[in-house]
Amino acid sequence: MKHLRSIEDFPKQGIYFRDVTTLFKDAKCIEIMDDELYELYKDKGITKVVGIESRGFIMGACLARRLGAGLVMARKPGKLPAETISQSFEKEYGLDTLEIHKDAINENDVVLLHDDLLATGGTMIAAWELVKKFNPKKCYMNFIIEIRDEGLHGRENIGPDIEVTTLIEC
C-alpha cells in the first residue's frame, strides 16, 4: 500500500482517486503483480486478455504474454482502426463508451477481463457486456485494486455470475 498514491477530488470534486501509476513506476511492484496475476490464472486456459483503457493495458499485456494468450484492447470510441462493437455505460462522474474490434474474440475463447481498479464496477460491467456479445466459452474478471471502504459496492454491482479476483483491497 505504500506504493499506492491517493488523490482527493480527482477527476472531480468528491472522488478519492487511487493512482496506480506509482505501482507501475516501481519495477519490484510490477514483478510482484505480474507473478501474482500469473499464479491466479495459469491453469484457467485463458486465450484472450481484455485490457480496459488505459491502465488495464499494462498488466493485461504482461499477463497475456505470460499466459501465451492474445491481448484485446477495450478502448474509448474512435481509437481502434477496424470495425468495432460498442457498449455505453454510466460512470460515477459521467457517461462513457467502450469498443472492441469485431474480430477480437470468438466462441472458443476463454477470456480474462482486466482493469486497474474496481470502484462502482460500471466500466467493467460494460466491458463484460461487450465481451458477452462474442459468446466466449468462459470469462474471468480481475483488478489490481478493489475499493471496499467507501461504500461503492463494485463487486456486488457485478454480481455472482463471474469469478472476480483482486490483488489489493483498500
Active-site residue (options: 55, 75, 99, 146):
55
Q: How far apart are CA 114 and CA 112, in angstroms?
A: 6
- The four Cα atoms 93, 118, 131, 95 give a dihedral, to 10 degrees, of 0
Q: Is 92 a catalytic residue?
A: yes
Active-site residue (options: 5, 31, 90, 92):
92
Contact 109, 47 (CB under 8 A): yes
Q: Is 169 a catalytic residue?
A: no
- How do the residues of the chain divide into helix, strand and coil, expressed in percent and rounded to 5? 30, 35, 35
Residues with a catalytic annotation lie at 55, 92
